Amino acid sequence: MSKERSEEEWRAILSPEQFRIIRQKGTEPPGSGEYNKFKGKGIYSCAACDTPLYVSDTKFDSGCGWPAFFESIPGAINHNEDNSLGMKRTEITCAACGGHLGHVFKGEGWKHTPADERHCVNSISIKFSPEDKE
């Protein structure tokens, strides 16, 4: 899937709520997302373009109200400075389609995470595929 899709094409592909969050950089209410407390083993991909973003082994319960991961699949996400809401944050987007995923926070004291990072991701921006059982 290409970043080159028009807004009309994205509107046809995504639900209205997905469009609001993924294309217009919205946020779902805390605690409301399908994957907030989900514990399955597998891969989380971009809900807009199917690009693999996170493996379940990097997901942890941060208590923030959104799915939290401590690292992405290398090269899968872009980091962008976000100065909205009167604060400096780092937005994360899908590297393949530019879809808004959420924000990454560093230095919060997560001792069980290798980089002390929390990728706070909207559930609606991702979809889960379980591990293949061979």
Cβ 56 vs Cβ 40: under 8 Å: yes
Active-site residues: which are they? Answer: 120
Put the strands of the sheet holding 77-82 in their side by side order.
59-60, 68-69, 117-121, 100-106, 89-94, 77-82
Burial annotation 33-44 (CB, 10 A radius, 16+ → b, else e): bebbeeeeeebb
In a 13 Å sphere around the CA of 18, the CA atoms on its Cβ side amount to 16
